[in-house]
Amino acid sequence: MPEKNFNITIIAATLLLITVGFILPGWLTFLTISILAKALVVVGVAVLMRGGIVSFGQGLYYCIGAYAVGLGGKFLGITDLLGLMFLALVAGLVSGSLLGLLMKRYREIFFAMFSLALSMILFGVLSKSQLLGSTDGFTIVKPTILGATLSTDNANHAIYIFACLLSGIVIWLGQRYLRSPMGFAGEALRDNEVRVEYLGVAPETIIYTKYLIASVTASLGGGLMALTLGHIGPEMAYWSQSGEFIFIALLGGTSHIAAPFVGTAVFEFIRTFALELAPNAWQIILGVVLIFIIIFFPSGIWSLFSSLKEKLRSGESGSPSKTPSVDLKKGDS
Amino acid sequence: MNPILEVKNLTKNFGAVVAAGDINVDIYENEIIAVIGSNGAGKTTFVNMVTGYLKPSSGKILFEDADITAYPPRKVTRAGICRSFQIAQLFPELSVLENMMIAFSLTASRWPSVLQPLRNNKTAENSFTVLKNFNIDMYANDPVASLAQGVRKLLDIAMAMVSKPSLLLLDEPTSGVAIEEKFELMDTVMNGVLQSGASTMFIEHDMDIVERYANRVIAFYEGRIIADGPTAEVLQEPTVKEFIVGEDIAHQEGGGLNA
Amino acid sequence: MSLSIKATRFCKHMVVSLTLSTICVAVNAASDDPLKLGLVSFYSGGASGPVGIPSRNGADVIIKAINEGTLPGSYSNSGKGAGGRPVAPVYSDEAVDSAARVTEYRNLVQRQGVDAVIGYASSGSCLAITPVAEELKTLTLLYYCGSTRIFEEGARKYVFRTMASQDVENIAAARYITSLNPKLKSISGMNQNYAWGQDSWRDFKESLDQIKPAVSVKTKQFPKIFAGQYGAELTALARSGADVVHSSFWGGDMEALILQGAPRGVFDDQTLLLTTGGTAFYSLADQIPEGTVIGARGQGDMFAPESELNTWFRNAYKKAYGENPTFPAYYMAQSVLALKAAADKAAKAKGGAPAMDEVRAAMKGIEYASPAGTIKMARANGHQAITGVGYGTFTLVDGKPSLKNVRRYSAECVNPPAGTSSSDWIKSGFLGAQCKQ
Amino acid sequence: MTLLLAILIDGLIYASWLFIVAAGLTLVYGVMRILNMAHGSFYAIGAYAAASAVGWYFTLGLPAWGAFAILLLAAISAGVVAGLVVERGILRILHGRDEVIMVLVTYGILLIFEDLIKLIWGIQAYYAYQPYGMLGRSKIGGLTFVNYDLILIVVAALIAGALWFGLNRTRKGKLLRAVIHDRESAELVGINVKRLFITTFAIGAGLGALAGGLAAPAIAVNPGLGIEVIVLAFAVVVTGGLGSIEGALVGAILIGLARAAAVNLLPEIELFVIYGVMTCVLIFRPHGLFALPTARRI
């Protein structure tokens, strides 16, 4: 897809979502924000996965972002939406750039386990801090927007619009990243680390970049989630939360930057209805879906879209075109 | 004339096994060297040490007067030594052109750009030029996974050429390629290499190829160099004939698990 | 192919049900319109066995009786339904992450259109749900969670708690243990490493400091929740040799503590004080060390005062589920009955089926009967229940578990008075406590 | 002195339990390259099977010592059966997929088992406490320990010994080690890798269930058991080095002692001491203490 088309699609989708926001019922507004917030985290997970790296501890940054927002309000007296989200961004950037120095040396299962250990340590520390409400966490007041104090409904709506814009920006930047040499270097790294090294680039550099991107998107997602939930707790750093993010990343697929958003929406849909259908046995449904996806849709739901698109395209032109396409159309395994 | 690469007393032990013992080699500009030796003789170990993949147990490697003994592969590459691999090291899920473009953009800078697109006209042009040089431009849009062995080998070498090395190490460029295609492949490789003016060292089992392309031969046996000199002389040496040339006729295609 | 057809059908079905449920929200409550009640607790995971499922069973017993109009005692003439409306429960699992809990709460209220929500065993959930309930203006009864912060961090309009906060049972524990052992010199703690365990220990310790200032702490153990293996902690407790070991362990952890501690004789010369030990009372009768002090969060189960309602509840529960109701079942019953009592009161005042706002108004400060005795919504501006608390000492009589030295502390004796925060009250030395034995 | 003794004995008891859980996990990883999250389910299944079987046994009025045999038999056979079902039913189809993908597949299996266990055994707790107290207790240096726990140390040592013997001294074991070191070459020389896989997985699952069965007498067997244990077991095998039995042993002892020391000296840090040990080890040895050799790629 040419660059221009993509830009137009992104802008149109963001505007559409914002417009729809005016007629959504309350629960759907909230659900959409939390889908966007989680999807932001999953974008990072997917970016790492495209480099062949799976983080079982992305909850760490999700939690850091949320606590940055919470503590910023509680102790620094920052109340503005933008200020708080900026704080989340900085927190993710700083912690990610420090821990990234350590994590960039690890691969595969060791990366997964080490990231898990780090997030569990944060969970432990927060669970010990009674000042911050221990495992019960604490409540966050609704933010002001550009200095204005709004009613709860309006504040929610403002957060909604902000979430749409933020997601649009992240998708746009993410797509640029994936198409850049550094983005391709990630794929290259997953395919063949030896070759990357012999092309004169340190694999650590590539992983570090991915790690930074992932920690920033995760902390932004965490910050957004904190603002919309109004309450945060250490369980955001618990390993099962990170497991959920990976689940969603697989569900959506990693072949496109927007796939995590579709994945998260589908995941929330499945989870909600599984909970309603079988309050005692919804985990069976989730487990079966997970295995089903891995067996039958190894490239995630997004592969349905792209194969559909392929079909349409080949139907139009009669035969698959041989011209070099700029679109990166491929699955992840 | 000064050598571009000086290898001094290079040794590598794996536990009690001596994979390479006391290797001394000088390589000069414009040389085309063939490295011969039976499987396990230490040829690949030698290449791996020079390119930073393996740390030598002792000894020194100087390249253009700089000590590169402790360099990791990426620094060796940036210093100007590139290599190819016995089993082509490519990005199998990407297309040939993408492989080339990644090679170009990664060699361009140690910090590849994060927001500029990989695909741009200049990189594509450069990539096509190299692909043409190696006669594989017709595969540009094919995924690597679908390529024949010979094309993979050429792409592997083409990617090594991107950073314009002054020394090129080719690890069995013709292994895995059907016997009747070997000469054609080597012609293409040498054609591409000669244009760049890099000194070249290649590991080879086929003595016909060695004779035809190399002007110098280094013979390895059990981790040591047993002969080093002009091609014709080395191939006539009795020890080389006894230990390597004779054996290799029997084991020509057995390169899969070479040490 | 057939897969995609099925998928489409599934989607259609979902769209239809989504639309329908949205419409439901818009429709106002008519008199015979069922009162849709969201019931949330842990239906999966480690807390489901000891807490969630008994709670649900307790709710089901009460709801069935409400709808059939068969509740005895003071409810015997109240007719069918709550305020004339039959109660229709909708269950939702609490064992999901906190974002999903809020999502599911909103789904219950805004999509499924429930009229009220009863639930939440974990204080973390209660704290997360409370602001949302206020935002959505939905009557929400917290039935089990203990955190004192819920009403101390802000005034609530729509959120009630029908259970005493957790400080109460620890205050009562301090009172009981000092009356049982006036020469108490030292204590140790064994509490789970999360808010519940930390807060329980703090409240117990601070209360004890008021009642008996010179008691020393030998060791404070905080193992991870659901750890299951307590060998090292038990050694530390044994070595510390305190007079009393305070533990707010609950469910499987509490039982594991008994199962591992008793054979080692750790509690032979130290008194084990279990603030929620009641759930092990029947199941582990021959394992609980003689002399263990047992509480049950309020007055459920074996501490429940004799009443017609209690006898009926025990029998109905046992008939339906083949076992005695444990105290989570009591507290869920207690919460559902609060709704019934308030709805009936509002209906009586109005002379017809009340709107939920009228039920809410009626609930403020209400006093009603439950299987666990009379409950008064006396604190936090009529939103927080105060209940009495019972403690007893475990003993086997002819191989059957029983309690001796049972003490029931009246609500006014162990609950902070309205308008006073729990920690202030403890630090004041329980100013104004009315303790008639 | 008593303090040191306490740390040592408590640490070893805890380590024994950890090792029995982790041994099966690391064995399966070594041979099949599957880091099996469903191992936690096998643990839970073993605990449930043992607890319900022991409970049933005591209703028969037979001699009490028979409970031990029943406990072991019930746990191991339940684990092996569950293991065979999982291997044949799901894992075989996905043979050869990426390691991390396999973690997620087994995560899915873990989720399914969580609810299946509830559907089979219900949500009420099961108890099998009789065997725990039956063996009496011993006084060591002024501290009282339950003999059952002390015997657990012996059992763990026996399992470690049996695994060592099996892998190093038997023909099958040597084949397994060949697979552990280089699967492709092992396949080339004609080892029936598929059959080895299923055998290994059954043994691994049996060990996991055995761990659950052995733990059952000291706990209330409740839903959610498996999830709690699996991350701990991960920490042990990652610290020790994935796929290494020696590693699991050393990792278990290290973590067991560290935890016992924390509990006795500084209870505040108990919550992160396990992850702390794991982090420290991984910082200095990125592949754990006893990393498997990796095959050369070029």
Cβ separation of D100 and A54 shorter than 8 Å? yes
Decide if C226 touches D, using CB distance below 8 A: yes
Measured distance CA(D250)–CA(C47) in Å, rounded: 33
DSSP string, B121-164: HHHHHHHHHHHHHTT-GGGTTSBGGG--HHHHHHHHHHHHHTT-
pLDDT band of residue A322 (cuts 50, 70, 90) is: very low
D199 CB near a chain C CB, below 8 Å?
no
Task: Evaluate whether residue A316 is within a structural domain.
Answer: no
Of residues C232, C251, C266, nearest to D264 (C-beta): C232
What pLDDT is stored for residue C4 in this prediction? 41
Establish if D298 touches chain B: CB-CB under 8 angstroms: yes
Q: Do C193 and A130 touch (CB under 8 A)?
A: no
SS3 D16: helix
Q: Do D272 and A116 make contact, defined as CB atoms within 8 angstroms?
A: no
Give me Rg for the CA atoms of chain D. Answer: 19
Q: Where are the domains of chain C?
A: 2-164+305-386, 167-296+388-427
Beta bridge partners of C89: C37
**Mean pLDDT in residue range A236-246:** 93
Q: From chain A, pick out residues whose CB is under 8 angstroms from the CB of B168.
A: none
Which residues neighbour A73 within 8 Å (Cβ) at sequence distance 6 or greater? Answer: A79, A84, A140, A141, A143
C89-135 pLDDT, tens digit each:
999 999 888 888 999 999 999 999 999 999 999 999 999 999 999 99
C164-222 confidence digits (pLDDT tens): 999 999 999 999 999 999 999 999 999 999 999 999 999 999 999 999 998 999 999 99
Per-residue pLDDT tens for D227-258? 889 989 999 999 999 888 999 999 999 999 99
Nearest to A108 among D100, D272, D283 (CB): D100
Q: D1 touching B, CB under 8 A?
A: no
Chain C 320-359, residues with CB within 8 Å of chain D CB atoms: 323
> Mean pLDDT across the stretch A30-57?
94
Q: Across the interface, do B91 and A187 touch by the CB < 8 Å criterion?
A: yes
Task: Write down the pLDDT at residue C48.
Answer: 86
Spatial contact of D236 and D288, defined as CB atoms under 8 Å apart: no
C301: which 2 tokens? 């189960």
Q: Which residues of A touch C135 (CB under 8 A)?
A: 152, 230
Which chain D residue shows the shortest CA-CA distance from B171? D298
Render C80-103 in DSSP notation, one character per residue. SSBTTBPEEEEEEES-S-HHHHHH
pLDDT at residue C19, rounded to an integer: 45
Q: Concatenated DSSP letters for C247-280?
A: E---HHHHHHHHHHHHHHTTTTSSEEEETTGGGG
Locate the chain D residue with the closest alpha carbon to A195. Answer: D298
The secondary element (H helix, E strand) that includes residue D8 is: helix D2-32
A and D: number of Cβ contacts within 8 A: 111
Report the range of poorest mean pLDDT among C17-21, D140-144, D155-159.
C17-21
Neighbours of D265 (CB within 10 A): 11
**Amino acid identity of B158?**
A
A139, part of any domain: yes
What pLDDT, on a 0 to 100 scale, did the predictor assign at position C85?
Answer: 93
CATH topology for D2-284 is ABC transporter involved in vitamin B12 uptake, BtuC (1.10.3470)
With cut-offs at 50, 70 and 90, classify the pLDDT of residue D188. Answer: confident
* Residue C284 token pair: 């582990």
D138 touches chain C (CB under 8 A): no
Which residues in chain D have their CB less than 8 angstroms from residue A121's CB? 272, 275-276, 279
Residue D298 pLDDT: 59
Q: Give the pLDDT confidence of A217-237 residue by residue, as tens digits.
A: 999 999 999 999 999 999 999
C87/C34 Cα distance (integer angstroms): 6
**Is the pLDDT assigned to residue A314 strictly greater than 80?**
no
pLDDT digits (tens, 9 = 90+) for C338-390: 999 999 999 999 888 899 999 999 999 999 999 999 999 999 999 999 998 99
Distance CA(D47)–CA(D28), nearest Å, equals 20
Is residue C22 over pLDDT 50?
no
**Least CB–CB distance from D125: residue in C52, C236, C283:** C283
C186: burial class by Cβ within 10 Å (0-12, 13-18, 19+)? middle
Q: D139: nearest CA in chain C?
A: C264
Which chains neighbour A (Cβ–Cβ under 8 Å, 3 or more pairs)?
A: B, C, D
Enter the tokens of residue A115: 């990231």
> Mean pLDDT throughout D66-85?
96
Is the predicted pLDDT of residue C71 greater than 90, yes or no?
Answer: yes
C-alpha angle with apex D152: D280 to C240, nearest 5 degrees? 70
Give D272 to chain A, closest Cα distance, Å: 6
Polymer length of chain A: 333
**How deeply is C138 buried, as exposed, middle or buried, from its count of CB atoms within 10 A (0-12, 13-18, 19+)?**
buried
Interface of B with D in 63-92 (CB under 8 A): 85-87, 89
Q: If one looks up domain C167-296+388-427 in CATH, what number appears?
A: 3.40.50.2300
The domain limits of chain D are: 2-284
pLDDT interval class at B250 (50, 70, 90): very low
Contact by Cβ (8 Å): A235, A135:
yes
Q: What whole-number distance in Å separates Cα of residue A323 and Cα of residue C256? A: 68
Average pLDDT taken over every residue of chain B: 86
Task: Tell me if D279 and A280 make a contact (CB, 8 A cut-off).
Answer: no
Question: Domain for residue B257, yes or no?
Answer: no
B250 touches chain A (CB under 8 A): no
Of D6, D124, D227, the CB nearest to C235: D6
The pLDDT value given to residue C31? 54
Percent of chain C having pLDDT more than 90? 70
Instruction: Give the best residue of B53, B90, B93 to mutate against chain A (max A CB count within 10 A).
Output: B93
DSSP symbol at B229: E
Rounded CA gap, B79 and B166, in Å? 9
Is A275 an interface residue toward D (CB < 8 Å)? no
- Interface predicted TM-score (ipTM): 0.89
| Cβ-based contacts of D298 with chain B (< 8 Å) | 44, 48, 53, 85-87, 89, 171
Q: How many domains does chain B have?
A: 1
Of B94, B107, B118, the CB nearest to A179: B118
Q: Which residue has the higher pLDDT, D153 or A134?
A: D153
Q: Where are the alpha helices (DSSP H) in C351-383?
A: 356-363
Q: What is the amino acid identity at position B166?
A: S
> Is C52 within 8 Å of C73 (Cβ atoms)?
no
Task: Tell me if there are at least 3 CB pairs under 8 Å linking chains B and C.
Answer: no
Contact across the interface for C106 and A26, Cβ inside 8 Å: yes
Our CA-based measurement puts residue C350 at a distance from the nearest CA of chain A, in whole angstroms, of 31
Residue pLDDT, tens place only, A266-298: 999 998 888 888 877 889 999 999 999 888 888
- The reply to whether A12 touches chain D by the CB within 8 Å rule is no
| D215 pLDDT more than 90 | yes
CATH code of the domain containing B69: 3.40.50.300
The answer, for D120 touching chain C at a CB cutoff of 8 Å, is no
Q: Tell me which residue of C121, C82, C90 sits closest to C107, measured CA to CA.
A: C90
What's the confidence (pLDDT) of residue D286? Answer: 86
Which helix H or strand E contains B66, and what residues bound it?
strand B66-67
Distance separating alpha carbons of residues B150 and B178, to the nearest angstrom: 8
pLDDT at A264 (0 to 100): 96
Over pLDDT 70: what percentage of chain C?
A: 92
Nearest by CB to residue A130, choosing from C111, C112, C198, is C198
Measure the CA–CA gap between B200 and B61, rounded to whole angstroms.
17
With a cut of 70, say whether residue D3 has pLDDT above it. yes
* pLDDT one-digit tens code per residue, B94-151: 899 999 999 998 888 888 888 888 888 888 999 998 998 888 889 989 999 888 888 8
**Chain A residue numbers touching B141 (CB-CB < 8 A):** 322-324
| pLDDT at residue D293 in the model | 61
**Full residue range of the structural domain in which residue A37 is found:** 3-238
Q: Which pair of tokens denotes residue C335?
A: 């919460």
A200 contacts B110? CB cut-off 8 A? yes
The verdict on residue B229 lying in a domain is yes
Question: How far are the Cα atoms of C258, C267, C315, D51, D152 from residue D129, in angstroms, in the given order?
Answer: 10, 17, 29, 8, 15
| Chain-chain contact of B107 with A200 (C-beta, under 8 angstroms) | yes
Query: CB-CB: which of A105, A239, A280 is closest to D286?
Result: A105
Per-residue pLDDT at A326: 32
User: Neighbours of C (≥3 Cβ pairs closer than 8 A)?
Assistant: A, D
* Highest mean pLDDT (candidates A37-46, A126-135, B153-162, B184-193): A37-46
What mean pLDDT is predicted for residues D24-51? Answer: 94
With a pLDDT cut of 90, the percent of chain D lying above it is: 62
Answer yes or no: do A326 and B119 touch at CB < 8 A. yes
Q: Residue A153: count other Cβ atoms within 10 Å of its Cβ.
A: 11
Most A CBs within 10 A among D41, D107, D120, D298, hence the mutation to make, goes to D107
Q: Cα-flanking dihedrals φ and ψ of residue C91, to 5°?
A: -95, 145
Give the pLDDT of residue D61. 86
Interfacial residues of A (vs B; Cβ cutoff 8 Å): 3, 173, 176-177, 179-185, 187-188, 191-192, 194-202, 205-206, 209, 322-324, 326, 330
Domain C2-164+305-386: top CATH class: alpha beta
Q: List the single residue in A with minimal CA-CA distance to C111.
A: A27
Around Cβ B54, how many Cβ atoms within 10 Å?
A: 18
Q: Determine the Cα–Cα distance for residues D254 and B36; give it in Å rounded to an integer.
A: 50
Look up residue A64 and give its two tokens.
């850091």
Determine contact: A268 vs chain C, CB below 8 A: yes
| Burial state string for D151-162 with b = 16 or more CB within 10 A and e = fewer than 16 | ebbebbeebbee
Q: Round to whole Å and give the CA distance between C272 and A163.
A: 52
Q: Which chains have at least 3 CB atom pairs separated by less than 8 Å from chain B?
A: A, D
Distance (Å) from the alpha carbon of B240 to chain A's nearest alpha carbon? 32
In the prediction, which pLDDT does C437 show? 53
Strand, helix or coil for residue D130: helix
| Candidate from B73, B91, B103 with C-beta closest to A197 | B73
